[in-house]
Every structure is written in C-alpha cells, then in structure tokens.
C-alpha cells in the first residue's frame, strides 16, 4: 500500500522538484521511504508502506530486469505467489508482488490486466515503446487521478492533492460533480470534483502514447444470475470465502481485523481463526445504549482474539472535521468517516494491515432498503396501471402505506433506489441552489429496472467505489494503514453477484446466504442481528456548540468560497440540522480547505 505519482513529459529529469512535491504531499500513504526514477521522457515517484518484501528488493519505482520498463504500484496482488509460478522464466530480483506484474508484462503486455487479481492502481512506463500503461482494480479499491498540465505534461497520482502539489495545473470546479455530490453525498467514481483533473474509473485501463490518452473498460460485472440450490450455494460460498481470506492474510507484517460485531466482520474474524493461531481485533464504539461494542466482544471472546476497543472521545468535533477532512480532497458527506478515521488511527498503533467486512451488504442484500424494494416489487400495485389509478383516488381520502406511496411516486424499484435511497438534494432543490446539471453515471451493464440483483450491481459500481472505498482508502492511508476487503476477492464477489435474489433477500429476512453458511460460526446473539449503522446521528452532532459555530462560519458568510458555486440565499433555507445541512457543511469545508486553489 503506497502512494504513486508520475509526470510524462519531454526532458522529464527537469521535473525532479515537481515529482518530489507530489510524493511529499502523500507522505501519509507511505511513511517508510520515498524514491524516484527518471527516463528521458518519464518521471516516476513512490511513497512506500512496507507490507511484502520489506527489503530494498521491494522498493519502487521498480525496474524490469531489462531496465526498459519501470512500474509504480499502489495495492496488493492477492495470490501473487501462484501467479509467479506461471512466469517462472522471468529472472526475479526479489519477492514482491510488484515484480510479478513486470514478469506478466514481458509475456502479455497490456493483456496482463485480464489475469491480474487484487486491489491496485499502477502505472508502467515502457521506454522502448514510449508508452505509459495504467490500470485500476475492478471494484475501485485503489484510486488513480490524472491531468494534462499547462505544458501538455501527463500527470498522475494516487490523490488529487499530489496533482495540485505539482503546480502544473490550475484546477477548475466541475459543476456536474457538484450536483452529483449534493444528490448523493459523494463524487461519482467516473469524475473528480475538478473538470480538468480526471479519475480513472474502476475496471478501466489507460494508455498514454504520443500525447494521446486512451481509456477503455477491461472488465464488466457478470450480468446474468445463476440458477443454484441453497445447499450448493452454501458449499461454494464457504469454499470461495475461505480462499479469499487465506489469500489476503499474506504479508510480512501482522494482519489484524476490524470487528464491529455485525454479521460481516464477525464472519471474517471467524474464518481468520482457521488460518492464524492468534489474531488482533479492533472495535470502535460510541458510549450509548446502541453501541455495538458488546456484540464485538462476544465474537472476540469466542475466538480468543487479542481484542482492543476504541471508545468515542468526547473531543471537539469541529476540530476533528478540520483535521480529518483535508485527507478526502473532495466533498464527502458520509458521517462514518470520522469514526473510521479513529479506528484506523488506533489500529495503526500495533498493525500495518487490517481486514475489513466492507461490501457484504451489497453482495448479500444486507441493507434495509433492499427489503423495502423487494416489498415494492411484490406489491399488487407495482407497475399495475389500474391498481395505481385506483390507489391515487383512494389516497385522497385515506392514508396509504409507505410501500403504496412509493409505488405511486416512482416508475420502478430502480427509479426509487436512484432517486430516493441515500438521496439528500432532489433535482428541484439542486436547481434552487443554482446547479442545473443532472449527471448520470454509466454502468458496465444495462440495469433491469425491476431486478433487485441489478440494484445491488448498481451499488457495486456507484456507491461502493464512490463512497465506501473512498472512505476506506483515505481514512486508512491518513494513518498509514492498509485495509483489505476479502468480500471483494474477484472469484467470491462474482459468485455472490450472480446468486439468485431469493438467496439474499425476502420480505422477512436479509443476507440469507451469509446466515445459512456462516450461522454456526457466530454466537446466538449475533445470529439474530440485522444491519446497524456505524456512527451517531447528524442531529445529535448539530446540537454541539462547536459544530454550530463552524457551520455559521462556513455557511452564513457570503464571502466563503462555497458561494462561488451555490446560491447563498437558497442555501440558508436548508440549514435545519439534518442530512442536507450536513451535506452543505461538508461542501463548505472542502471549499475552505482548498480555498488557495479555488
């Protein structure tokens, strides 16, 4: 896990100062060392967090044995030892997973990407071809940003702040991305908050050659569901998940686990127990009646882990926001980034790598709204013109159920999902704020508007890389911690994506396949649990004086940078201590953090 950076330009050795500024800005991503390598037309930089092959043999930028190629990699290639055996002809210099990509490139060139598992963002310079080959992993676990500089330089890095640190570009705010942020609380993984700084989307590769940039998709989610019995599904589920966990435990440092006490993290901890004699588990909890700490302790006791609890510190919340939010580089409204930072900070005291139970909800159907959407689809009025007409007349006289109301309001469960679930500002509200654009992200498949599985696929390509993986990467890397996500192992994730809906969600239950397969590994209390959010309510935070002072400073002053992009008077009407207010506060905080470049 590291930070990568590069500048492709004529006389690249003249950019030594710029490449150093770029890597220095990402010191948190790789505190162990910093290195640079130069060709005539390529400058590559790297910040290292040592995980595999801690010796100098694992340092980057890394040359191939011919010295004609050089790579910088951020991430981990799971199962790289087995891949290495298939490329035994390559004269390896060390034992790192990075060198395996160089070996694959010698034989397959850019086609290596189809056989490369793991979480990664990398750039490989081929000096003979005068070509840069870049790629990002399938689910967007690792970031990759790029831009064209003032003198036509091609600039890339793991974080936006590194591109800005180069001084080679003056950023311009992207109003499409602003609108998307206000709607969902995060920037799409197909955009950045700046119109002239780009993100390489998940599952895409990029080739720079002779000043031309070509971006193409190399992977699409499996679009068809399988037909599978519960017993067969359980057997395959367990085999693939155990294999995923085993592969992600490979490191030359200790690997621990986050443990919330929910079904997903409890499952990871239970399976790690089969491969390690002792494991460290870390839990974060708020000191209130709904704290999950007691559930986490049950699992920790069952598996006799070296368990550590991180308790909420009653500090200055505004001060925490000002300290932590700059790591995000873009506006980000997910309230759980604050506790996520704290658990990563405490994990780093004894660990360099931690496993996470993230993305289980999207793969197994764990969110409450999936159950609601299942009820919407099964309701007698769903897409029934006659029933809908009658209910519209009926509800003028009588109160109808939530399911009925939503069926009348939205054309399909996909329409409901995209325009109601996790939405802050509606299109009309964004228009009032002065943002008329309505950006819609592309997908690798054509969603069936009536398919619950396709809604989960949409979340895997929209919410997971845009929100969840951003939070995981930035908060972990802010603390020089590597976080791995076993549920996103390619073989396991593809299996879960294709499971039939009834093995995930019914009107009465969620995560059916996980409960059936992993139930015996949990305690009785855990078996009865359903999804619980990670974090306190926004309303309780707005009751704190320091947050209200920060809000007033940033949102009630017309001279704040945020009001270069949204209407001041319209914004005042949304400051009512709810999610919309929090969304605007985070946008204002981003503008404040970046006022020197805006």
* 483 and 582, same domain (yes or no): no
* 524 and 544, same domain (yes or no): no
Retrieve residue 282's tokens: 């870390």
Residue 110 CA, chain-centre distance (Å), reads 25
What are the φ/ψ torsions at residue 474 (nearest 5 degrees)? -70, -40
Name which of 129, 147, 137, 127 is nearest 61 in CA terms: 127
* 106 and 248, same domain (yes or no): no
The answer as to whether 347 is a domain residue is yes
Beta strands at 131-136 and 204-209: parallel, antiparallel or unpaired = antiparallel
Q: Which residues pair with 3 in a beta bridge?
A: 47
* 40 and 123, same domain (yes or no): yes
Give 205's Cβ-side CA count (13 Å radius).
16
The answer as to whether 131 is a domain residue is yes
Residue with tokens 């790690």: 272
The answer as to whether 110 is a domain residue is yes
The answer as to whether 201 is a domain residue is yes
Residue that is last in its domain, among 471, 502, 528? 528
Active site residues: 2
pLDDT at 111 (0 to 100)? 97
Retrieve residue 253's tokens: 């440092």
* 267 and 286, same domain (yes or no): yes
The answer as to whether 431 is a domain residue is no
User: pLDDT exceeding 90 applies to what percent of the chain?
Assistant: 82
The answer as to whether 293 is a domain residue is yes
The C-alpha atoms of residue 4 and residue 154 are separated, in whole angstroms, by 14
Residue 581 CA, chain-centre distance (Å), reads 24
Does 357 carry a binding-site annotation? yes
The C-alpha atoms of residue 222 and residue 241 are separated, in whole angstroms, by 18
3-state helix, strand, coil in the chain (%, to 5): 45, 15, 40
Could you tell me the mean pLDDT of each successive run of 10 residues in the chain, 598 residues long?
Answer: 93 97 96 92 92 76 96 95 94 92 97 97 98 98 97 97 97 97 98 98 98 98 94 97 96 92 95 95 77 89 94 82 97 95 93 96 96 93 84 78 87 96 96 94 96 98 98 97 97 98 93 96 86 67 93 97 97 97 98 92
pLDDT tens track for 526-538: 888 776 555 557 8
- pTM for the structure as a whole: 0.95
pLDDT at 198 (0 to 100)? 98
Does 559 carry a binding-site annotation? no
Name which of 318, 333, 324, 321 is nearest 583 in CA terms: 333
pLDDT at 215 (0 to 100)? 98
* 136 and 73, same domain (yes or no): yes
Retrieve residue 232's tokens: 């067969």
Residue that is last in its domain, among 157, 191, 217? 217
* 199 and 236, same domain (yes or no): no
Does 225 carry a binding-site annotation? no
Number of domains in the chain: 3
Retrieve residue 151's tokens: 């003198």
The C-alpha atoms of residue 189 and residue 172 are separated, in whole angstroms, by 18
The answer as to whether 377 is a domain residue is no
Which CATH number goes with the domain that contains 192? 3.60.20.10
Domain interval for residue 126: 3-217
pLDDT at 507 (0 to 100)? 87
Residue with tokens 């910088």: 72
pLDDT at 288 (0 to 100)? 61
pLDDT at 33 (0 to 100)? 82
* 176 and 197, same domain (yes or no): yes
**Is the distance from CB of 155 to CB of 146 less than 8 angstroms?**
yes
- The 3-class secondary structure across 364-420, one letter per residue, is HCCCHHHHHHHHHHHCCCCCCHHHHHHHHHHCCCCCCCHHHHHHHHCCCHHHHHHHC
| Arithmetic mean of pLDDT over the chain | 93
* 197 and 298, same domain (yes or no): no
Residue that is last in its domain, among 188, 217, 246? 217
The C-alpha atoms of residue 240 and residue 335 are separated, in whole angstroms, by 32
The answer as to whether 390 is a domain residue is no
Residue 21 in 3-state DSSP? helix
Element (H, E) at 240: helix 230-248
* 545 and 516, same domain (yes or no): no
Give first-to-last CA distance, the chain, whole Å: 30
pLDDT at 388 (0 to 100)? 79
* 25 and 78, same domain (yes or no): yes
* 184 and 38, same domain (yes or no): yes
């Amino acid at each position: 896990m590291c930070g990568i950076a590069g500048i492709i330009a004529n006389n690249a050795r003249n950019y030594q100062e710029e490449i150093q500024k770029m890597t220095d800005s990402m010191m948190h991503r790789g505190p162990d060392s910093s290195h640079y390598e130069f060709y005539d037309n390529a400058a590559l930089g790297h910040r290292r967090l040592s995980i595999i092959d801690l010796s100098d043999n694992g340092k980057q930028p890394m040359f191939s044995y011919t010295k004609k190629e050089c790579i910088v990699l951020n991430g981990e290639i799971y199962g790289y030892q087995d891949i290495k055996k298939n490329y035994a002809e390559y004269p390896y210099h060390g034992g790192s997973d990075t060198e395996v990509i160089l070996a694959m490139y010698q034989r397959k060139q850019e086609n290596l990407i189809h056989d490369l598992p793991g979480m990664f963002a990398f750039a490989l310079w081929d000096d003979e071809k005068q070509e840069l080959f870049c790629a990002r992993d399938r689910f967007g676990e690792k970031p990759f940003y790029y831009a064209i500089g003032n003198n036509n330089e091609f600039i890339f890095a793991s974080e936006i702040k590194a591109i800005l640190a180069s001084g080679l570009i003056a950023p311009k705010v992207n109003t499409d991305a602003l609108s998307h942020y206000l709607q969902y609380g995060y920037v799409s993984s197909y955009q950045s908050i700046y119109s002239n700084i780009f993100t390489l989307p998940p599952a895409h590769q990029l080739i720079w050659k002779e000043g031309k940039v070509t971006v193409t998709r190399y992977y699409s989610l499996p679009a068809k569901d399988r037909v599978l019995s519960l017993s067969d599904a359980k057997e395959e589920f367990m085999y693939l998940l155990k294999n995923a966990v085993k592969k992600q435990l490979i490191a030359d440092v200790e690997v621990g686990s986050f443990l919330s006490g929910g079904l997903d993290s409890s499952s990871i901890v239970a399976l790690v127990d089969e491969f390690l004699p002792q494991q460290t588990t870390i839990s974060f909890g708020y000191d209130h009646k709904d704290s999950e700490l007691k559930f986490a302790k049950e699992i920790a006791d069952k598996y006799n882990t070296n368990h550590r609890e991180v308790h909420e510190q009653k500090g200055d919340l505004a001060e925490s926001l000002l300290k932590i939010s700059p790591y995000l580089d873009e506006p980000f409204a997910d309230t759980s980034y604050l506790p996520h930072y704290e658990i990563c900070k405490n994990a780093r005291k004894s660990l360099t790598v931690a496993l996470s139970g993230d993305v289980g909800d999207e793969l197994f159907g764990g969110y409450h709204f999936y159950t609601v959407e299942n009820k919407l689809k099964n309701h007698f009025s769903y897409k029934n013109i006659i029933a809908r007409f009658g209910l519209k007349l009926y509800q003028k006289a009588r109160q109808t159920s939530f399911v009925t109301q939503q069926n009348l309001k939205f054309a399909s469960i996909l329409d409901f999902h995209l325009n109601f679930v996790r939405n802050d500002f509606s299109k009309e509200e964004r228009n009032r704020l002065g943002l008329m654009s309505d950006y819609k992200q592309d997908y690798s498949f054509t969603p069936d508007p009536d398919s619950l599985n396709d809604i989960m696929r949409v979340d895997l390509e929209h919410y997971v890389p845009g929100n969840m993986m951003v939070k995981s990467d930035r908060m972990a890397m802010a603390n020089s911690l590597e976080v791995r996500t076993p549920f996103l192992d390619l073989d396991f994730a593809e299996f879960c994506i294709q499971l039939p809906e009834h093995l995930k969600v019914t009107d009465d239950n969620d995560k059916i396949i996980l409960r059936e397969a992993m139930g015996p590994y949990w305690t009785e209390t855990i078996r009865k649990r359903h999804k619980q959010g990670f974090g306190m309510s926004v309303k309780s935070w707005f009751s704190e004086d320091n947050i209200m002072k920060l809000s007033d400073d940033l949102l009630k002053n017309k001279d704040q940078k945020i009001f270069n992009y949204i209407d001041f008077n319209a914004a005042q009407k949304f400051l009512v201590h709810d999610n919309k207010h929090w969304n605007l506060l985070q946008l204002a905080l981003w503008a404040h953090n970046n006022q020197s470049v805006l």
